[in-house]
Structure 1
C-alpha cells in the first residue's frame, strides 16, 4: 500500500501553506484583517490624487475600513471607481458621502459622512456618493497666488522705498547722532549717579538738621508766645477782679453809688430838684436874677 503523504505531497502542502501565510501576511501589512468579516462598497471619484490601496476610511476620525482596489471606469470616462471594505456591523445610511481629503503633504484619507436624517441603508455592493474636498495646494494656487501676483508690484515698490531710505546718507547721520546722544546720556547718567551717591546724602542730612532746628525754634517760639499771652490774660483778669472788688466794696465812692440805695435815691432827688430849678430859672429868670452884673442903678 502506497503512503498517503509522500514526499511530493508534503512539498505541495508546504508550498500551499507558505502561500496562504504569505497572502495573509501581505494583507495584514496592508491593514486588512482576513479573519474579520467586512462588506464591500464602491465609490466613484473624479480625481484620486494621493489615494492608494489600504488608504483608511474614517468616520469622525475613527478607522472603519480600507481601500481594497482602485480601477479606472472605462464605461464612464473621467471616473475612477474605488472599492472599499467596511466593518460588517456598520450600516451606511442612504445619501451618505465619502469625501476624499488630501492634506498639505499629499496624504489622502476617505472621510465617510453618514446621513443621520434617513432610516434607509445601503446594501453591500452599492455605489456611495464620492466627493473631492478642496485641495489645500489647489486652493492656495487658486485663491492666494492671484492675490499674491497683484501684490508683487506693490511689494517691489515698498522694497524700493525701503532700500532708498536705508541707503540715504541722512539715515546714517541720524544713526550716528543717535549713538552720540546715547553716549552723552550714558555719561550724564553716570554723573547723575555720582552726584546722587556723593552730594545728595550730605545735603539731605543738612536739610534734616535745618528742619529739626526750625521745628525746635517754632516750638520754643510758640511756647514763649503762649506763656506771654497767658501772663497778659492773667494780669487782665486780676485787674478786672480788683475793679469788681472795689465796685462791690462800700468803702469807696463807686461802691457806695452802686451799693447804697439811700445815697442813690438822694442823688436821684437832688438831680430831680436841680432839673426843676433849671426849668423854673429858664421860665422865670427875674425871680432869681435881680441884680446887675455891672453895678446897681442910681
Structure 2
C-alpha cells in the first residue's frame, strides 16, 4: 500500500492528500462501479475521495466507506479526506445547509473534510442538474459564501472551498469572506498549466487541487491533448514511465494536489507510482513550452439571458 504525501492548507493548517481519487464518471453514475472501485482504491492507499451532488454517486461512496470500516481496511473515518460540492441549483443562501445535510446523509457521514461551491454560477432553485438557458441566474456569491461559512462553523465540514474560480472571481469572494476558501479545484495539466492562477492562489494562501490532470479523454467537453502530447510521450519513453505518470508527476511537482480518476485497478496503482522519481530541469522546461488550451470551457453556462454572455466572462479572460 502506497503512503501518499499530504499538503498543509495555508488557511487553516489542516492537511489534504496530494493525490486523490476522483469518482465522477460520464454519463454520471452510468456503470454503478463507484463502490467497488473506492474499496480497491482504499486498499491501494488512496485516502482522498472526491465526489459531488452532481455526480449522483454519493450514496455509493458512503457505502464503500462503511464497508471499508467493517472490513478493517481503515480503522476510522478520520483516516479519509472526503470532498463533496454544492451544485448550482442549490447555490442560494437558504439551500446551502440543506444541500450539505443531504450530501452527508447520502455519504452516511457526520462531516466532510471539504465542501466546495462547484461553479461560480446558479440555476433556479429546484431545477436539478439540467443546465437550461431559462434556468440560469446570477449567483449571489456573498450570501452563498456566508452560508458556506456557517456550515463550517457548525462543524459539518472542516474546510470550505470553491471550484472553477478564476483570479477575478476569487478576488471578489475574498473581498467579503470572513473565512477564506481553503481550496480552489480547477483544471490543471501540462496542456493547461494555469500559471497566473497558481501564482495568485499561492499569494492568497489558497491551495489548488487539479482536476483532469490527464486531460479528459472520453468526456463530452474534454480533449486528448495530454495523452497525445508528443513532448510527454518522448519524456515518458526516456524515463521508462507512462504518459499518465509524467503528467501526474508534473502536476505533483507544481505543489498542488490532484484528483485522478480511473476504475481500472492497474491504472489506479500506476497513478500512485509517481513519488520516488522526479522530472529533470530540462524535462520541466520542455513541458513548460507545450502550447496551452483550456479543456473545460463550461460552454453550457453561456447565455444571452444569463450573467455570462461569453466564455471570456465565465473565465474573466483566463482562457
State TM-score, norm by structure 1: 0.16
Structure number with greater CO (CA < 8 Å, separation at least 6) is 2
Give the greater-gyration-radius structure (CA).
Answer: 1
State TM-score, norm by structure 2: 0.15
Q: Flag the structure with higher helix content.
A: 1
